[in-house]
């Protein structure tokens, strides 16, 4: 074996002696393979609540109920004559349902009620189908189902169906992207927190701080506040770029206190999880240098996985059922709902506020209490 081959073999062996390299080369691809395999294994099961506010004197309601129920949707029939404001109805159902499932309200113009004229093929009839929804995916599925049902029922009639989808709140766009980026960057601050802890351990400044009676307090205050300041600077840069480059109107988000509550909740979660992970690695690792490398390795993976499952990168409707169920156990999912609903719909249900903030606060307190200033042998 020549010198070049020996050098390559030596560096390969040295690389695999480092634990964080093993994690990124072997374990992290396995985790991503499981997640993406679950997502693309089959067609996702669509979930949502559909409210039919359509004329009930022509058999359309029964057919629509059967079609939409076969798609796995929960169908509710309401009095069409009393549904004067579908948008208000959507808001009311969101507040009363104690659920984050998407909602659609279907209205059909009264022209469809004149079935006798249609059957006689008298004149040209236009029927307007309007779907008011909180989800573009659900709105598209429901609209296609309603149109196909009407055309199937109106075989041989002179009929033209005009579909309309109206998103309640604002359409997904750059402003929505700013909300997602703000929350994901807050969650990604976990890497900064772990970096602060690793820096203290790597330089052994933590040992000097432990000598002082107030050293523990200063240590944890620095670990909490320094990444928070860095995050605020990052958020300012993100907002500036989206405002200048994409002409995004982010003023509605920045002036909304519940948006900031969602952001702070996400940062608390990131800080708490980082402290817990750092504590475990400090307990398990043998030396200070290994602790430093391990903290740098684990940092980026956890926020990426949490964000993916919580619907930051892929809409929840496209994720498999078990992953959507898992997301409802995670505070980042509710932080996204709180920020999005408060900015787009002006809604901030108490249960979403509690699910986003309370677990994050508990994790932050627990993580801060158990995080050791120095490794106790």
Alpha carbon distance 108, 161 (integer Å)? 10
One domain, residues 207 and 69: no
One domain, residues 113 and 222: no
Residue 13's Cβ-side half-sphere holds a number of Cα atoms within 13 Å equal to 6
Question: Does position 10 have pLDDT exceeding 60, yes or no?
Answer: no
Helix-, strand-, coil-residue percentages of the chain, each rounded to 5: 65, 10, 25
- Asked if the structure places residue 192 within a domain, the reply is yes
Alpha carbon distance 207, 359 (integer Å)? 31
Kind plus residue range of the DSSP H or E element containing 120? none
Give me the number of domains the chain comprises. 3
| 84 vs 347, residue with greater confidence | 347
Boundary-marking domain end, from 125, 141, 167: 167
- Asked if the structure places residue 183 within a domain, the reply is yes
Beta carbons within 10 angstroms of residue 250's beta carbon: 21
Alpha carbon distance 236, 368 (integer Å)? 27
Percent of the chain having pLDDT more than 90? 13
Lowest-pLDDT range of 105-119, 133-147, 328-342: 105-119
Alpha carbon distance 235, 267 (integer Å)? 12
> What are the helix (H) ranges across 204-214?
205-211
pTM greater than 0.85 (yes/no): no
Mean pLDDT in residue range 298-306: 82
Mean pLDDT in residue range 63-87: 77
Mean pLDDT in residue range 328-340: 92
Range of the domain at 31: 3-40
One domain, residues 154 and 201: no
One domain, residues 242 and 333: yes
pLDDT of residue 114: 47
Lowest-pLDDT range of 18-22, 121-125, 330-334: 121-125
Alpha carbon distance 271, 370 (integer Å)? 12
Beta carbons within 10 angstroms of residue 351's beta carbon: 12
pLDDT of residue 359: 96
Question: Does position 41 have pLDDT exceeding 70, yes or no?
Answer: no
pLDDT of residue 6: 62
Reduce the DSSP state of residue 165 to 3 states and report it: strand
């Amino acid at each position: 074996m020549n010198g070049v081959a020996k050098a390559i073999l030596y560096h390969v062996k040295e690389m695999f002696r480092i634990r964080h390299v093993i994690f990124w080369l072997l374990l992290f691809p396995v985790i991503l393979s499981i997640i993406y395999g679950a997502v693309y294994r089959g067609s996702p099961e669509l979930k949502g609540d559909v409210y039919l506010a359509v004329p009930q004197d022509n058999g359309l309601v029964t057919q629509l109920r059967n079609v939409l129920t076969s798609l796995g949707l929960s169908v509710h029939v309401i009095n069409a004559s009393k549904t004067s404001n579908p948008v208000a109805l959507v808001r009311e159902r969101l507040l009363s349902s104690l659920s984050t499932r998407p909602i659609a309200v279907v209205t059909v113009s009264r022209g469809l009620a004149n079935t006798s004229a249609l059957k006689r093929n008298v004149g040209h009839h236009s029927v307007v189908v309007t779907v008011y929804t909180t989800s573009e995916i659900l709105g598209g599925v429901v609209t296609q189902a309603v149109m196909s049902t009407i055309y199937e029922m109106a075989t041989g009639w002179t009929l033209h169906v005009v579909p309309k989808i109206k998103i309640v709140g604002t359409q997904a766009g750059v402003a929505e992207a700013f909300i997602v980026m703000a929350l994901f960057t807050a969650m990604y601050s976990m890497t900064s927190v772990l970096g602060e802890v690793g820096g203290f351990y790597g330089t052994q400044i933590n040992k000097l701080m432990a000598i002082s009676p107030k050293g523990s307090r200063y240590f944890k205050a620095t670990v909490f506040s320094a990444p928070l300041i860095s995050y605020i600077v990052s958020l300012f840069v993100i907002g500036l770029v989206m405002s200048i480059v994409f002409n995004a109107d982010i003023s509605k988000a920045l002036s909304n206190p519940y948006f900031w509550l969602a952001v702070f909740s996400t940062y608390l979660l990131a800080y708490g999880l980082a402290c817990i992970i750092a504590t475990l690695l400090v307990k398990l690792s043998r030396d200070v240098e290994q602790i430093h490398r391990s903290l740098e390795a684990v940092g980026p993976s956890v926020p990426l996985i949490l964000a993916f499952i919580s619907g930051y990168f892929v809409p929840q409707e496209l994720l498999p059922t078990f992953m959507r169920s898992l997301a409802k156990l995670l505070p980042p999912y509710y932080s996204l709902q709180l920020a999005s609903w408060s900015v787009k719909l002006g809604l901030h249900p108490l249960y979403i506020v509690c699910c986003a903030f309370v677990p994050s606060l508990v994790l932050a307190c627990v993580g801060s209490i158990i995080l050791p200033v120095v490794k106790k042998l």
